[in-house]
Amino acid sequence: MMISKTSTKFNRIEMRFGLLSLLLVSWAFVQAADNDSIVARKFFSEELLNGKSYEMLDELCNKVGHRLSGSEGAAKAVEWGKKIMEQYKFDRVFLQEVMVPHWVRGEKEVGNIRRASGAKQIKVELCALGGSVGTGKDGIVAEVVEVKSLEELSALGKSNIEGKIVFYNRPLDPTLISTGHAYGGAVDQRRSGASEAAKYGAVGVIVRSMTTKLDDVPHTGALKYDSAVVMIPAAAISTIAANTLSKLLIEEQGVTFYFKMSCETLPDVLSYNVVGEIKGSEKPDEIIVVGGHLDSWDLGQGAHDDGTGCVQAIEAVRLFRALGITPKRTIRAVLFMNEENGIRGGKMYAKLAKDNKENHIAAIESDAGGFTPRGFGIKGDEKQVATIVAWKHIFEDYNMGQLGKGWGGADIGPLIDQGTVLMGFRPDTQRYFDIHHTREDTFEKVHKRELELGAAGMGVMLYLLSEYGL
């Protein structure tokens, strides 16, 4: 077949045009990437020079205090969250009603190990597990049977457990680099241990605290009762107390344990999620959420769990105002209520989003402490994960380049059914479970610069999601 000179000429022109187009696209991509890095630098500089996250946390911890669902502290925290977002002039700030459980600890718990030999009782540091029933005014005293797992409990059976106190003594696996994975591998005994023991006639449960640290600080946390069996009291004992009790059970016969708790569950209370948003300029109907949970346990101040997550969420949105950046998509800071003992705030938020036909394209949660930021875990399809991972180079300048598949968070989890991509903020958590759910979780344990770096990183992630979507 003969090819004309004219045809060849046009082919060459098309090839040159195609090459030029490719170069222009590549140049535009490089320019966009450079611009994103410049904007990221602005977020970090603004936060490190003029950030408000640390002073917000100071106020939340030291003026409001602990914020257990249904408590006076939780109600004050709602007022604080609404006021602070209005102060920072978010476009809209509103509350979402949610009924929450109201469990109270009551008087300080008492516990001791009693030896058959008549030797002096050994006082034990313990605290009631959240949601536990009380022991009655006289407390409970009974022989102790130690187990390391629910399977071991089942193997012992009713004949060896009835009338006794079950002592769950499986420690967190110290060989796991991820402390979250170690926690997940041990927490079943705290969550469902009481009901499992009650099936075999146990009269109470004590659980080794969920930490690798050896100290005398007990860790609380929620349990979940099985409505098909009797509810028996359950408490956590410190790791030192757990080791002491375990040693005595090997060395002596007839060791008993006594504990007294006055905790109880009161009727549900009306509370709220606190929501503040900046409207998107181009696609306002596409919503990106960043949040933490406003409630905390009642033993400390709820600083790392999850005061840091709340102030980082507010700060990530506030930074847009401070930098004069209007997001293309709507961004929302959400302070969820009742993550610790029910996740009712997260469930209600997802329900209202569905009822209102809102389109949440992504949600970020910070609920692993305010320690040095490392990156984000992503829960979405392959394409969505790849889109976010492509931004890795932007975060690597701030040692936050750990982007990959992961878990989002408890509060944002209910959004998964609506096609929302879930993202969990990843700080370095090696110290997190030293203070998690304890009296030690106080403002002084939070490092200002670590907190600010995390807030800035979350702000950058909001910016990229708002600019490019998913």
Q: State how far the Cα of 445 lies from the Cα of 93, in Å rounded to an integer.
A: 30
- pTM of the prediction? 0.92
Q: What does the block give as tokens for 465?
A: 């999601």
Please report which confidence band the pLDDT of residue 90 belongs to, taking 50, 70 and 90 as the band edges: very high
Measured CA to CA, the distance from residue 88 to residue 319 in angstroms comes to 10
- What pLDDT does residue 14 have? 55
- Structure tokens, 352: 């209202």
Q: Give the number of residues written for the chain.
A: 470
Is pLDDT of 421 > 80? yes
Strands (E), 189-328: 204-208, 234-237, 256-260, 264-278, 283-293
Which residues 6+ apart lie within 8 Å of 369 measured at CB?
A: 304, 305, 308, 427, 429, 431, 432, 436
The span from the CA of 367 to the CA of 336, in Å, is: 11
The secondary structure of residue 222, as a DSSP letter, is: B
The yes-or-no answer on residue 339 being catalytic is: yes
Q: Tokens 């009631």 — which residue?
A: 128
Cα of 466 vs its chain's centroid, Å: 23
Domain 106-262: which topology?
A: Glucose Oxidase; domain 1 (3.50.30)
Which of 109, 339, 440, 452 is labelled catalytic? Answer: 339
Task: Give ranges for CATH 3.50.30.30 in the chain.
Answer: 106-262
Identify the CATH number of the domain defined by range 44-103+267-468.
3.40.630.10
Residue 363's nearest CA partner among 400, 332, 401, 405 is 332
Interacting residues of 424 by C-beta distance below 8 A, sequence separation 6+ = 364, 365, 366, 367, 368, 376, 377, 379, 406, 407, 408, 409
Residues of the chain with CATH 3.40.630.10: 44-103+267-468
State residue 1's pLDDT score: 43
SS3 127: strand
Structure letter (DSSP) for residue 413: G
Lowest mean pLDDT among 4-8, 61-65, 441-445: 4-8
pLDDT of 168 higher than 80? yes
Structural contact between residues 434 and 211, judged by C-beta atoms closer than 8 angstroms: yes
What confidence tens digit (pLDDT) does each residue in 440-462 have?
999 999 999 999 999 999 999 99
Q: 231 to each of 142, 190, 214, 223, 225, how far by Cα in Å?
A: 17, 14, 30, 11, 7
pLDDT in tens, 24-44: 444 444 556 689 999 999 999
Per-residue b/e over 76-107, b at no fewer than 16 CB within 10 Å? ebbebbbebbeebebeebebbebbbbbbebee
Please measure the distance between the N-terminal and C-terminal CA atoms of the chain and give it in whole angstroms.
48
**277, pLDDT greater than 70:** yes
